[in-house]
Amino acid sequence: MLSVLSHRNFARLFGAQVIALMGTGLLTIALGLVAYDLAGADAGRVLGLALTIKMLAYVGLSPVAAAVVARLDRRRVLVGADLVRAGAALCLPFVTEEWQIYALIFVLQAASATFTPTFQAVIPDILPDEADYTRALSLSRLAYDLENVLSPALAGLLLTVIASNGLFAGTGIGFLVSAALVAGAAVPTPRGIAPRPFRDRLTRGTRIFIATPRLRGLLALNVAVAFSGAVVIVLSVVIARSVYGGGEGDLAWAMGAYGLGSMLVALGLPMVLDRAGERPVMLLAGLLAGGGMAGTGAVILLTGWPGWGAFLALWCVMGAAASGIMTPSGRLLRRSAHAEDRPAVFAAQFALSHACWLVAYPAAGLIGSAGGPAAAMLALGAAALGGVAYAALLWPAGLPDAVAHTHDDLPPDHPHLRGAERRGGAYWHRHVFVIDDEHHAWPTQG
């Protein structure tokens, strides 16, 4: 897997991702501390609203940002977004009012909503070989999981020698180093992109998503990831502290088990995907996520909570299932759009997946508060299973990359029809099929 780091440009971009992720982890911890300084016991409300603003920025601004920067140099876009994030982070130590936190978080997350989909769309252009790209996706997944483990430890070490506000400096430095690494990489920008109206650029990614069967299936699987994962993220602290009577260390064990499962699957996925393909792997992972969560919730309601070890094993399975869906998703996005449309498609995935989380987070909290964690596990696990079932319907098995189809909407001398066979009043041919200017809908018959 590490052999992919021999690609110099990818190695620089991966290093930028890792350092930026560590900075983001420090930011999360520092934000909690500054929220407590401003609001005391009411810090949860401040943090909750800040995280809601983060999700709204992701959902609402990602497609807008992709449309605005569609024709700009991608390296400059990435560096500019990192500089904005660094500036916002370095302003946070000086806040004195709650609204200032919300404003800076909005600016920072708006920059992230620009950076992340653009960054994700660049990687398949740098690594055109699918095997290399698959290994890059697994490394990216590992980076996210390691950040969840290492950032709290790094923050704890830093807090022994600096004040809590110093963590924001660490965040800002992380984004600045990320910008420097990106600036030193050769980031390709597709040439010859046809000018399009802003409205077309704004909706293009979502239209490709809705019209492509495998991406419709991915959208349904996003529901499975969000609804099963929301239980883990929202209710782990309640389960560890209230159900099992543990301390803060037990919450770390629970989240560590979830991250361990995710990392183990990310390490083994490249070989599995090369043999089995994405659909069976992702649907099986969805069944594990939804079925494991719902089934365990039902058993708990009937017989009570299992031992602590069994609970940690379940959380490990949940992490493995989430990784089994999220890691291969980049392969589907890469295969479903031309290079010039990939930023819009990655932005659509970024926005739509976070929209699922925006619904799942409050659902987990409300059901968990009203009926207890086991009821939330059953309800949200069942919703995740519904998403998996819908994905299986939307994404048929055996869907080929090259699809036979006809054109009756193009002039006979159109370049796309070169080599096509005339059949009646239409032209017939077969090629790798994606939604674009010549193909507005997926063919239902050859």
Looking at the fold, whether 361 and 307 belong to one and the same domain comes out as yes
Residues 226 and 315 in one domain: yes
Last residue of one domain, picked from the residues 174, 189, 204:
189
Does any domain span residue 68?
A: yes
Q: What is the pLDDT of residues 174-194, one digit of tens each?
A: 999 999 999 988 887 766 566
Q: Is 50 exceeded by the pLDDT of residue 199?
A: yes
Does 14 share its domain with 126? yes
How many structural domains does the chain have? 3
Residue 316 belongs to domain with CATH number: 1.20.1250.20
- One domain, residues 183 and 259: no
CB 213 within 8 A of CB 75: no
Q: What pLDDT score does 153 carry? A: 63
pLDDT in tens, 362-380: 898 889 888 999 999 999 9
On whether residue 298 sits in a domain, the answer given is yes
What's the confidence (pLDDT) of residue 2? 65
Contact between 90 and 63 (Cβ < 8 Å): no
Q: Do 5 and 150 belong to one domain? A: yes
Asked whether residue 425 falls in the same domain as residue 395, the answer is no
**Tokens at 99, concatenated:** 């609204």
Predicted confidence band of residue 25 (pLDDT cuts 50, 70, 90): confident
Kindly state whether residue 445 falls inside one of the protein's structural domains.
no
Choosing from 189, 223, 239, the residue where a domain stops is 189
Residues 385 and 427 in one domain: no
pLDDT band at 212 (very low <50, low <70, confident <90, very high): very high
In a domain, 367, yes or no: yes
- Rounded CA-CA distance 93/168 in Å is 7
Tell me the whole-structure pTM to 2 decimals: 0.84
What is the pLDDT confidence band of residue 279, given thresholds at 50, 70 and 90?
Answer: very high
Write the pLDDT tens digit of every residue in 321-375.
999 999 899 889 988 988 888 888 988 998 999 999 989 988 988 898 889 999 9
Residue 60 shares a structural domain with residue 108: yes
In which domain, by residue range, is 411 found? 402-432
Amino acid at position 174, single letter: G
144 and 231 in a single domain? The answer is no
Q: Judge if 182 and 200 occupy the same domain.
A: no
Measured CA to CA, the distance from residue 404 to residue 289 in angstroms comes to: 36
Residue 127 above 70 pLDDT?
Answer: yes
Task: Answer yes or no: do 125 and 113 share one domain.
Answer: yes
| Rounded Cα distance, 378 and 316, in Å | 18
CA separation for the pair 398, 379 (Å, rounded): 32
Residue 292 has pLDDT above 60, yes or no: yes
Q: Is residue 16 part of a domain?
A: yes
* pLDDT > 70? residue 425: yes
| Average pLDDT across the chain, whole number | 86
- Which pLDDT does position 166 carry in this prediction? 80
pLDDT of residue 169: 87
At 446 the pLDDT is 39
Q: Are 417 and 313 part of one and the same domain?
A: no
Distance of alpha carbon 292 from alpha carbon 295, whole angstroms: 5
Q: Is residue 439 part of a domain?
A: no
- Please give the Cα distance from 446 to 336 (Å, whole number): 19
Mean pLDDT for 91-120 is 88
